[in-house]
Chains A and B, each alone.
Chain A
């Protein structure tokens, strides 16, 4: 199989933020300084080589600032590599942040057309899809209203509908799955599901490790701009968690109490409750523990997986139930 995306020894360095002063005086000072010491750059992507075949579903995981989104930007052609080559074959569609590119004063239809053209489609082609997009977003009856009259959930629906209407060969997803209310979210999931079933290549960046592991055939774990692991999802997630959760082998409730005492920052712990033997999520902070959910699922909107400790086969004492402000 030929590859859809090919990185060969790709590195990217970017200018550091500190010299980004935009007034003339500081600029002149910076030019003087840069003249002496050169532009300060930091490496965002460091010698990455990888190849993704057509139709592959690949998850990218890693901590914040590890280069996940930068990798997507390199694939999308937004950024060009400093060294090495990136080659992409097939049409691309990034799911861009909801609302970017929408003008609040224009009508829904005008915004749909502009958005479609931004994504690289022909204006005439976009026009033939306006109805389908409005239908999917369930906004057909207010098509001539200015976009600012939409609620945030409605405009998120519109953004999702436009971005996914034109089936690309390669779909880039960057943590965008939480859209609209529960019912619409299911509809979005169903549509993404269809991409999954079709021959589309999908690159998904997410902190939701269980989602990535469940839906992707392959996971690339990057850290510090380097590929740390590339392969089996389960293995990737496990290895990643082992580095993130250094105390992943808590066996007893007392250990957890000790951990809680030693962490000023809140830590989420998944484990089995000592009382009802149910899988549950616990929040641990300053020696206190709260049980957050009874079923071991945590709500994606509330917390990020990055702080989640997975406690395997452990028994955690029951802790006081109650509301927890996160």
Chain B
């Protein structure tokens, strides 16, 4: 005779531990599904940012290196850090977006916290990056800055990025239950956010009045915070880091709020 397990309920704080354990199992499961029969496995998530960095460096490296003290290597590192942020954010949100709908049959049978599905999708992506790009950024930080404080703050900045991604994922997956256009709209919006971040071009080449946008664009904020910590020397610009982390917290809060608002309507639409 096994001790009875309490059923999932949706919002009691006591269930958060259970939610988290479910997120963990579901995340491991989706990683297994993703890399079943693959030899390189998780290492594949390295390929995208590495290839893009190589391409950008080959095409733009020489032209833009003068903004990086004439060093193509510094351009390359800068592009890599930017791409780490962008690929994690866009891949995770795109993967989390349909999860509530695709698990609709399950949600109709068992009382599960619906937030577990987008969150476990983000967690699966996070685990992949923790095996590949995130440590790479940390190593770059150590080698470039030699500054223990900066290196120690890199995980904090990455945590901000994860919070931002989780917030957007919750909001998008909830909206997708109501409007199936969201996946196409987000495809376009994500690409816009990417292109309007100073990722493969230095911020200085953009006209002055456009640079305000770089301060508002959440991806751009995360990129400059991470670059500040991993690639710069001298006194730390805490403003950039604080802004990025603050935006991430707000985005996470809004995502959770929107999700909770929408949740009661889910079951009629799944």
Contacts and interface: CB of A to CB of B under 8 A. Distances in A.
Interface of A: 14-15, 20, 22-24, 27, 73, 76-80, 88, 90-92, 94, 96-97, 100-101, 103, 105-106, 110, 113-114, 117-123, 125, 129, 146, 166-169
B148 interface: no
A110 B29 CA distance: 8
Contacts of A125: 2, 5
A122 B2 CA distance: 11
Contacts of B24: 123
Interface stretch (B41-49, B83-91, B104-112, B125-133): B104-112
A27 B178 contact: yes
Tell me the interface secondary structure of chain A in the complex: loop
Interface of B: 1-2, 4-10, 18, 21-22, 24-26, 29, 32-33, 36, 105-112, 178-181, 264-265, 267-269
25 contacts: A14-B268, A15-B269, A27-B179, A77-B9, A78-B107, A78-B110, A91-B4, A91-B5, A103-B33, A105-B33, A106-B32, A106-B33, A106-B36, A117-B22, A118-B110, A119-B5, A119-B110, A121-B5, A122-B5, A123-B24, A125-B5, A146-B36, A166-B5, A167-B2, A167-B4
B8 A120 contact: yes
Given A125-B5, A168-B4, A76 B29 contact: no
Contacts, number: 103
Contacts of B267: 78-79
A234 to B, nearest CB: 32
Contacts of A96: 106, 109-110
A15 B108 CA distance: 15
Given A78-B111, A117-B25, A167-B1, A23 B106 contact: no
B178 A120 contact: no
B108 A24 contact: no
A111 to B, nearest CB: 9
B264 A80 contact: yes
Given A22-B180, A106-B32, A120 B7 contact: yes
A88 B7 CA distance: 10
B107 A103 contact: no
Nearest to A13: B268
A23 B18 contact: no
B181 A24 contact: yes
Contacts of A78: 107-111, 267
Contacts of B26: 114, 117
Contacts of A123: 21, 24-25
A295 B112 CA distance: 45
A100 B2 contact: no
B268 A15 contact: yes
